[in-house]
Amino acid sequence: IGQANWGLGVVVNRWVGKVLTTLPALRRYQQTIGTLCIILAHLLRREKVMATLQIGNRLLSGHFSIVLVTQLQHWASGLRFAPDANFYAPEFQVVTVRRTGLLKLIRIILAAKTGQHLNFREVEVSQAREVHLHFAKAAAVQIDGDILRFNGREVTGQKFRLSKLRTQIKLSAYH
């Protein structure tokens, strides 16, 4: 696993996938469809996840639009969301974006092209070997760009634990 994320990435992946499955001729407009899905997901509050994260010995709680645990610098469409992430480092980077207004969320996403999103107070970055996530409601997880599925159904859970093992991330979902 290079990265795992919850919130906006999952919703946009799900919706873009459905649109392109239904209307494959629109594939060349995937970026535009994705942008519209970001806006719609935010307006409908579908991207919002309420979570408590234990990042090493630090606790972080709140309403988030994006929760990303990664050992890769880039996220969706080449955004440099985790500029200090390193596949070979003993820790991975955790990037969270607290829920905010639509315009600020768009500004944060656009700033992530150059790593400048870290200047927004809604964005927090940590590093740890292990992260425990507890969601108020069961949430789906996107792993390396694909929503985790088992027998054709999305895997959801309220509790997740990610551990950095050498250059790998191990994901466990449990009740």
Give the model confidence (pLDDT) of 80-125 as tens digits: 778 888 888 888 889 999 999 999 999 999 998 888 899 999 999 9
Predicted confidence at residue 169, as pLDDT, reads 65
Name every residue whose Cβ is closer than 8 Å to that of residue 167 and which is 6 or more positions away in sequence: 71, 87, 88
pLDDT(166) > 70: no
Predicted confidence at residue 172, as pLDDT, reads 79
- Give the number of other Cβ atoms within 10 Å of residue 26's Cβ: 13
CA dist list (Å): 33 to 36, 40, 50: 5, 10, 26
**CA geometry: angle at 95 spanning 90 and 97, to 5°?**
170
pLDDT(170) > 80: no
**DSSP reduced 3-state for 102:** helix
CA distance between the termini of the chain? 21
Confidence of residue 76 (pLDDT cuts 50, 70, 90): low
Predicted confidence at residue 171, as pLDDT, reads 78
* 58-70 and 92-98 strand pairing: antiparallel
Looking at residue 116, the DSSP 8-state letter turns out to be G
* 130-140 and 156-165 strand pairing: antiparallel
